[in-house]
Amino acid sequence: MLKSKKKKLFILVGLLLPFMIQAQFSLSGEFRPRTELNRGYKSLAVKDQDASIFTTQRTRLNAMFKNEYISTKLVLQDVRLWGSQPQLVKNEANSISVHEAWADILLTDNLSLRAGRQELVYDDHRIFGSVGWAQQARSHDLALLKYSGDWDIHLGFAFHQNDTITNSYYKGPDAYKAMQFLWAHNEFGASKLSLLFLNNGIPDPKNPADGEEQKTRYSQTIGGRYTTELDPISIATNVYFQTGKDGGNNDLSAYNILLEVSGNISDATGITGGFETLSGTAYDEDSKNKSFSPFYGTNHKFNGFMDYFYVGNHANNVGLNDIYVRLSHKMDKLNFGAHAHLFSSAAKIAEGVDNYLGTEIDLSMGWAFKPMVKFDFGFSTMFASESMEAIKGGDHQAFQKWGYFMITVKPDFIK
């Protein structure tokens, strides 16, 4: 009996071997629980507010296949708050979601087409990013045409509808009804240049069922990123302009500029200093929307880990100036980070109100315990001003704090 089973196994392996040689398949997972301490995250706490402690978890199953002319990826995901479901849970709808599900077809040696649900990550994540810090992360339903040559060029196309596919009506849940973008990238020795054009279409709330024609308001984001290595430092800059219409059909005129310089204090210690401005609309401005939107970027990465700005908030507001310094240090399997941000509004908040918003300190530590296991720790505090209270509420004199402990386990089941 045992010999018969072994014989069948050898036959099966023999049949699959040619396929396995010509193609690549991997199956991996991710288990990421994160416990957070919150007393002033995203918005100012009040003096008598108790700190809250909660745990969220992301669980993923990743399957990838690739041969000489196609590659595919499927990412199934469950995101939950510990305690949000009973122990005797039923098979509830939407308990498992599809984070990515795409196929990439090689049309020629230089041209491919990727279609399906996919992450969009470009340059430093400022306009398009995966938002990987958020347990649910971000992905898009679209088609992406990619050319690889002296210039790498990507053309993206998305058009969304609701379940009722009549009258071309769209009412969420996504941020846009139609979106097209062009991204081009090239490298010149020690320098890199990326150019971006984004045409973002937001539908107005009118409903054709009520006899009203729904229109899509388009804004255009134009700009790019340039980086260069000038030993012993590196320089990076972003410049983006926005025009067109916002979702309320107001004229849009906004900009985003970033300049940062990085270098090494020692072999193990690095330092980065920079300045970023995102234009805003002053309290007495009523003719144009001058507030820049970073749209689909990984905004947690930029303006402080406490997410006071552009993480589901601060849209169409007074904008932001951010002067920052970041220190990083590596020691064996440990890495440490310390960030300081000095925030002010880019536009006037109100008559007689100072533009200075506050100073944030972010401390972090990561421990690569084993090849598939990592522990992350962090603590942040915000020293807010009265002006921050004016736009966020809460009490600027209360002690604002936020911290986290995260475990990340990424096993390779099949590789």
pLDDT tens digit sequence for 266-276: 999 999 999 99
User: In this structure, what DSSP letter does residue 48 have?
Assistant: T
Q: Which domains does the chain have, with CATH numbers?
A: 32-57+108-414 (2.40.160.100)
Confidence (pLDDT) at 87: 85
350 vs 268: CA distance, rounded Å: 45
Residue 156 confidence (pLDDT) above 90:
yes
Question: What mean pLDDT do residues 389-402 have?
Answer: 96
Confidence (pLDDT) at 205: 78
Task: Tell me whether strands 111-118 and 216-230 are parallel, antiparallel or unpaired.
Answer: unpaired
CA atoms within 13 A on the CB side of 5: 2
Question: What mean pLDDT do residues 342-348 have?
Answer: 97
Confidence (pLDDT) at 5: 53
Confidence (pLDDT) at 150: 94
For residue 250, name the pLDDT band (cuts at 50, 70, 90): very high
Nearby residues of 72 by Cβ (< 8 Å), 6 or more positions away: 64, 65, 66, 102, 103, 104
Burial class (CB in 10 A: 0-12, 13-18, 19+), 371: exposed
131: left (phi over 0), alpha (psi -120 to 50) or beta: left
Question: Of 171-185, 190-204, 236-250, 323-337, which gets the smallest average pLDDT?
Answer: 171-185
What b-and-e string marks burial along 184-219, b requiring 16 or more CB atoms within 10 Å of the CB? Answer: bbeeeeeebebbbebbbbbbbeeeeeeeeebebbbb
Contact yes or no for 319/348 (Cβ under 8 A):
no
Total count of residues recorded for the chain? 415
For residue 171, name the pLDDT band (cuts at 50, 70, 90): confident
Percent of the chain with pLDDT over 90: 82
Please, which residues bridge with residue 376 across strands? 366, 406
Confidence (pLDDT) at 408: 98
Residue 337's closest CA among 287, 270, 414? Answer: 270
Residue 12 confidence (pLDDT) above 70:
no
Contact yes or no for 138/306 (Cβ under 8 A):
no
What are 269's two structure tokens?
A: 């210690």
181-230 residue pLDDT tens: 999 999 999 999 999 999 999 998 777 667 777 889 999 999 999 999 99
Residue 19 confidence (pLDDT) above 70:
no
User: Which pTM value belongs to this model?
Assistant: 0.91
Percent of the chain with pLDDT over 70: 93
285-314 residue pLDDT tens: 888 999 999 999 999 999 999 999 999 999
Confidence (pLDDT) at 92: 66
Please, what is the average pLDDT of the chain?
92
The continuous run of DSSP H or E covering 159 comes out as strand 152-159
Of 119 and 88, which is predicted with more confidence? 119
Contact yes or no for 197/155 (Cβ under 8 A):
no
Question: Of 4-13, 165-174, 302-311, 373-382, which gets the smallest average pLDDT?
Answer: 4-13
Query: In whole angstroms, how large is the CA radius of gyration of the chain?
Result: 24
Residue 9 confidence (pLDDT) above 60:
no
